[in-house]
Structures are given as structure tokens and as C-alpha cells.
């Protein structure tokens, strides 16, 4: 019988081994997620208190909170989104609506995809050269602009993808009642693609809220309460970086708490984005 031949047994053995490896690899991948989150919660929760959200970063050896970096991060993120989102949406609109078959669109899409995964520290250097070196000092504006440079490619990509999903019959219907093209895009296409475009913005926010590298030499850091965007502004990731590498126990535990806050904010944003995207698919 075939099933008892040595060759068949060997093939089955090999299959069993590789399938076991597949199970093992998946287990390994999932366990990383669990281990990282568990350690974060374990180390971070103990430091979590109201003071974290109401007090300034302390000097070494005393208690304090993370109010100024949290506020700095929020302000710079909001400005980055305010700058980056309209630009990204407009660019994505050109690619999907006007220049769908243009050479320009192909080139922009290609470059945009590369910018999407370009090292963020290089973007920090770019903004340093363009803004910090020209103005002569580090500033919150420079930090916000470097984050905006990261927002643009994310929004361009999702806007184009989502607009391409809008059925052309909607566009034709709008054109047939005499709606100019720009109004057709703003009233019909944007409305149909809204959920997807919001997803893109959420993903962009999730991406920049943990970004550290581009802020290191643009916004720098600030020990005190300051939302003056012409001066260095503190941000959560940079404070985590500084505190975690310090020898002081208080600072290290604040770094863990900050890490916990960022991670759960980011995970929350990406899960909301996914739910929105999933709704769009089913409807």
C-alpha cells in the first residue's frame, strides 16, 4: 500500500515538522505582543496616578508628573495634523480624481510610498537644516512641521486609495446634473470616502504620537511648562527617552508610565481606525 511506503512516511513527517514550525512561529509572534504589553502594564501601572496628569516633570530625586510633555505632545500633534491633513488630502485628490492616468501621479505615488517608510530621523535632520538652523534655535514649530512631514504621506496614500474605491457612477451622476468637477469631488466623492479618509488621519496620528527621532533635534525638550512654540517644547517620547536612560529610579518609573500612556493611546487609535475601515467594507 502506498500509505505505508517509506517515501510517503518521509513526506508526512516533513509536513508535520513544517506545520509545527508554522504554529510555533505564530505562537512566538503573538507571545511578543503579550510579553511587551504585560511588561508595560506591570511596570507602568504602579506609577499611574492623578499626579502624572497634573504635575510637571520633576528634577531627579523628587516626585512629579508628565503634564508638560503630555501637553507638548498634544499641541504638536494637533498642529502637525492641521498642517499635514489638508495637504495630504489635496494631493490624494489630484491623484485619484484629476490625474488618475497621469505620469505625474505614478511618480508621486512611487515617491510617496518611499517617504511612507523613510527613516524618520532623516526627516528630523531635514527640518533641522531648513528651520532650526535658519531660525537659530530649537522650536515647537520645527517639531510640529517635522511631524507634519510624516503625516502627509500617510494621508496621501489613504485618500487616494479611498477615493479610488468610490464608484464612478456616483461621479457621473453628479456631473449629469451639471455639478462642476471641483464641487462633485467635494460634495460627492469626499462624502462617499469619508470613513476611509478619517481612518487615514487616525493612522497618521497613531504614527506620529510615538515618534521620537524627528523631535530630538527640532522641538528638543523643556523641563518646564511651556507651550510657546517659538521655544523648545517638551514631548512625551523625548521625555521617555531621556528619563529611561537616566540613572534615577524616579525618572525611570515615570518613563515606564509615559510608555504605558503612549502605547495604549496608539493601540486605541489603531483599533478605532480598523473598526471604521471594517464598517466601510461591510456597508
- The residues in 28-67 that bind other proteins, with binding defined as CB under 8 A, are 28-30, 32-33, 36, 39-40, 43
Task: Determine, following the binding rule CB under 8 A, whether residue 121 of this chain makes contact with other proteins.
Answer: yes
Enumerate residues 6+ apart whose C-beta is below 8 A from 75.
140, 144, 227, 229, 233
Tell me whether residue 229 or residue 238 sits nearer to other proteins (CB atom): 238
For residue 134, give Cα distances in angstroms to 67, 131, 202, 221, 223: 30, 5, 32, 19, 24
Count of residues interacting with other proteins (CB under 8 A): 91
Task: Determine, following the binding rule CB under 8 A, whether residue 267 of this chain makes contact with other proteins.
Answer: yes
Task: Determine, following the binding rule CB under 8 A, whether residue 93 of this chain makes contact with other proteins.
Answer: yes
Tell me whether residue 54 or residue 187 sits nearer to other proteins (CB atom): 187
Task: Determine, following the binding rule CB under 8 A, whether residue 206 of this chain makes contact with other proteins.
Answer: yes
Q: Which of residues 124-143 bind other proteins (CB under 8 A)?
A: 125-126, 128-130, 133
Task: Determine, following the binding rule CB under 8 A, whether residue 18 of this chain makes contact with other proteins.
Answer: yes
Tell me whether residue 191 or residue 274 sits nearer to other proteins (CB atom): 274
Task: Determine, following the binding rule CB under 8 A, whether residue 19 of this chain makes contact with other proteins.
Answer: yes
Q: Which of residues 211-230 bind other proteins (CB under 8 A)?
A: 211-213, 216-217, 220
Separation of alpha carbons 151 and 207, rounded Å? 8
Tell me whether residue 8 or residue 225 sits nearer to other proteins (CB atom): 8
Taking CB under 8 A as the criterion, the residue among 185, 193, 201, 229 binding other proteins is: 185
Task: Determine, following the binding rule CB under 8 A, whether residue 14 of this chain makes contact with other proteins.
Answer: yes
* Cβ pair 10, 16 in contact under 8 A: no
Cα end-to-end span (Å), the chain: 53
Taking CB under 8 A as the criterion, the residue among 52, 66, 95, 189 binding other proteins is: 95
Task: Determine, following the binding rule CB under 8 A, whether residue 149 of this chain makes contact with other proteins.
Answer: yes
Q: In terms of Cα–Cα distance, which of 270, 269, 211, 261 is closest to 241? A: 211
Q: CB of 75: closest distance to other proteins in angstroms?
A: 18
- What 3-state DSSP class applies to 151? helix
What does 141-200 look like in DSSP terms, one character per residue?
Answer: HHHHHHHHHHHHHHHHHHHHHHHHHS-HHHHHHHHHTT--HHHIIIIIIHHHTHHHHHHH
Separation of alpha carbons 213 and 217, rounded Å? 8
Task: Determine, following the binding rule CB under 8 A, whether residue 253 of this chain makes contact with other proteins.
Answer: no
Enumerate residues 6+ apart whose C-beta is below 8 A from 117.
none
Amino acid at each position: 500500500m502506498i500509505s505505508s511506503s517509506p517515501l510517503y512516511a518521509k513526506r508526512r513527517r516533513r509536513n508535520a515538522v513544517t506545520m509545527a514550525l508554522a504554529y510555533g512561529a505564530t505562537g512566538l509572534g503573538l507571545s511578543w505582543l503579550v510579553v511587551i504589553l504585560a511588561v508595560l502594564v506591570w511596570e507602568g501601572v504602579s506609577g499611574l496616578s492623578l499626579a502624572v496628569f497634573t504635575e510637571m516633570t520633576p528634577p531627579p530625586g523628587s516626585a512629579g508628573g508628565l503634564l508638560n510633555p503630555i501637553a507638548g505632545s498634544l499641541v504638536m500633534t494637533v498642529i502637525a495634523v492641521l498642517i499635514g491633513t489638508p495637504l495630504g488630502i489635496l494631493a490624494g485628490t489630484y491623484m485619484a480624481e484629476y490625474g488618475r492616468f497621469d505620469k505625474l501621479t505614478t511618480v508621486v505615488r512611487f515617491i510617496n510610498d518611499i517617504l511612507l517608510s523613510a527613516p524618520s530621523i532623516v526627516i528630523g535632520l531635514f527640518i533641522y537644516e531648513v528651520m532650526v538652523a535658519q531660525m537659530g534655535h530649537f522650536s515647537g514649530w520645527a517639531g510640529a512641521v517635522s511631524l507634519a512631514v510624516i503625516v502627509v504621506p500617510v494621508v496621501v496614500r489613504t485618500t487616494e486609495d479611498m477615493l479610488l474605491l468610490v464608484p464612478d457612477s456616483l461621479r457621473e451622476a453628479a456631473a449629469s446634473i451639471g455639478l462642476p468637477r471641483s464641487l462633485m469631488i467635494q460634495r460627492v466623492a469626499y462624502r462617499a470616502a469619508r470613513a476611509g479618509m478619517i481612518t487615514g488621519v487616525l493612522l497618521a496620528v497613531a504614527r506620529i504620537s510615538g515618534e521620537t527621532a524627528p523631535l530630538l533635534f527640532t522641538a528638543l525638550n523643556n523641563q518646564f511648562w511651556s507651550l510657546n512654540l517659538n521655544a523648545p517644547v517638551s514631548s512625551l517620547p523625548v521625555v521617555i527617552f531621556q528619563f529611561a536612560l537616566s540613572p534615577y529610579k524616579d525618572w525611570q518609573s515615570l518613563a515606564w508610565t509615559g510608555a504605558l500612556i503612549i502605547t495604549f493611546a496608539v493601540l486605541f487609535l489603531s483599533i478605532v481606525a480598523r473598526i471604521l475601515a471594517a464598517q466601510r467594507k461591510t456597508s
